[in-house]
Amino acid sequence: MTPDIDKIKQLVAQGEGISVEFKSSDARPDSLAREMVAFSNTYGGMLLLGVEDDGTISGIGPHHLEERIANICRHNVAPAIAPLISLITINDLNICVIQISKGAHKPYQTQDGKFWIRVGSTNRQATKEELSRLFQAAGLVHFDIAPVEGTDERDLDAEKLHNYWHICYDINFLKMNRDEQNNLLRNADILVSYEDTLVAGVGGLLLFGRQPQRRLPQSSIVFAVFRGTEITDELIDKKEVTGTLPELIENTAALVRLFLPRPSEISGLKRQDQETIPVKIIREALVNAVCHRDYSMSTRKTTVYMFEDRLEITSPGVIANSLTLEKIKYGNSAPRNMFLLKYLDNLRYSDGLERGIPMMLKAMGERMILEEIGDLFRITLRYF
């Protein structure tokens, strides 16, 4: 699809930003590849060839042909990308417009093996943590079975472990000796190897840990209630919910129900309260938030905000590479945390069929909104 000329003029007037980059006609292939990689690894964007950094339209010469750009996409970017390439004319000067989608096969790298991301109007190499998230989003690594340095089996709650193994597998965990317990936990990826010792894995600590937020402070949920429809309105209540994932789900759901508006109607001689959001929808949204969030984002917490007209549940980490907001509406999935999904399924918080979003949409209709906001994923549930 040929881009709208008026829109391109507006972008040029606004200057470079997180999704727009200008390049002169003599830009080198490695420089163009770096921009393509950064856009592909982040949110996508538009590369305008024939526009100087200050927004002056200089145009492009005959050497900037579609075939040349396509060769850079194939040979200087790995894995190869296929952007939409168009030529437009502004003030009798040609501009090459390269529209690059958010990559479906992250992480992307340039020919020299460097991974670039877009930050504001500039590019920079991904940090170790950012690169880890890119590989995690691609399903190449799973942070939920990563080791938590400085822990051991004493950081796990034996009673919680016993209840799990007894209910799910009829195994009496407490009657095992220490070696038998550690062998079981190691084979279940609850304990993992780290520098020749056994330590708790991220998922093991989240599900069965004693005070998991001591080691993983990002795993708590920030709950807040506002008197109004904006985050700047008066704060009525605020709590930080801590505990294992099952405790987070149950305790946060109880808080939501406590503050949820309950309109009533008269039936016969009695008043009957009506549900604005069904309990199963609240529970499913919270399970989705704690199961699929990105726990490698160590400075971000899941938030549950209640306003006068809606409930917002926002979790760190956008949906996985191959998915889109439209695809997840129909049950498509590419789980980020396979370990957590398996254990929450065994604990009956999930059925492992990834039908939660379609079920919620069926129940809520237009009152449910799904959004990606930067590196966050948000589910909004309107009361009416």
* pLDDT at residue 287, rounded to an integer: 95
State the pTM of this model.
0.71
Give the model's confidence band at 149: pLDDT under 50 very low, under 70 low, under 90 confident, else very high: very high
pLDDT at 180 over 60: yes
Residues 6+ apart with CB under 8 A from 176: 184
* pLDDT at residue 158, rounded to an integer: 96
Most confident residue range from 40-49, 67-76, 206-215, 317-326? 206-215
More confident residue, 115 or 140: 115
Give the model confidence (pLDDT) of 286-313 as tens digits: 999 999 999 988 889 999 999 999 999 9
Which CATH topology does 5-126 take? 3.30.950
* pLDDT at residue 315, rounded to an integer: 96
* pLDDT at residue 333, rounded to an integer: 72
pLDDT at 353 over 80: no
Stretch 126-133: mean pLDDT, rounded?
79
pLDDT at 76 over 90: yes
Give the model confidence (pLDDT) of 227-246 as tens digits: 999 999 999 999 999 999 99
Query: Residue 256 carries which DSSP code?
Result: H
* pLDDT at residue 70, rounded to an integer: 87
Decide if 47 contacts 35 (C-beta within 8 A): yes
Give the model's confidence band at 381: pLDDT under 50 very low, under 70 low, under 90 confident, else very high: very high
Give the model's confidence band at 43: pLDDT under 50 very low, under 70 low, under 90 confident, else very high: confident
pLDDT at 64 over 60: no
Q: Which of 86-95, 140-149, 325-334 has the lowest mean pLDDT?
A: 325-334
Give the model confidence (pLDDT) of 313-322 as tens digits: 999 988 865 6
* pLDDT at residue 330, rounded to an integer: 77
Closest CA to 255 of 296, 285, 224: 224
* pLDDT at residue 4, rounded to an integer: 85
Domain spans in the chain, listed from the N-terminal domain onward? 5-126, 147-200, 218-382
pLDDT at 268 over 70: no
Q: What share of the chain is helix, strand, coil (3-state, %, to 5)?
A: 35, 25, 40
More confident residue, 39 or 67: 39
pLDDT at 265 over 70: no
The counts of H helices and E strands in the chain are: 12, 18
User: What CATH number belongs to 218-382?
Assistant: 3.30.565.60
Stretch 47-66: mean pLDDT, rounded?
84
DSSP for 190-230 reads: SEEEETTEEEEBHHHHHHHBSSGGGT-GGGSEEEEEEESSS
Give the model's confidence band at 272: pLDDT under 50 very low, under 70 low, under 90 confident, else very high: low
> If you average pLDDT over every residue of the chain, what do you get?
89
Q: Give the span between the Cα atoms of 141 and 127, in whole angstroms.
A: 16
Give the model confidence (pLDDT) of 253-264 as tens digits: 999 999 998 765
Residue 266 burial by CB count (10 A; 0-12/13-18/19+): exposed, middle or buried?
A: exposed
pLDDT at 65 over 80: no
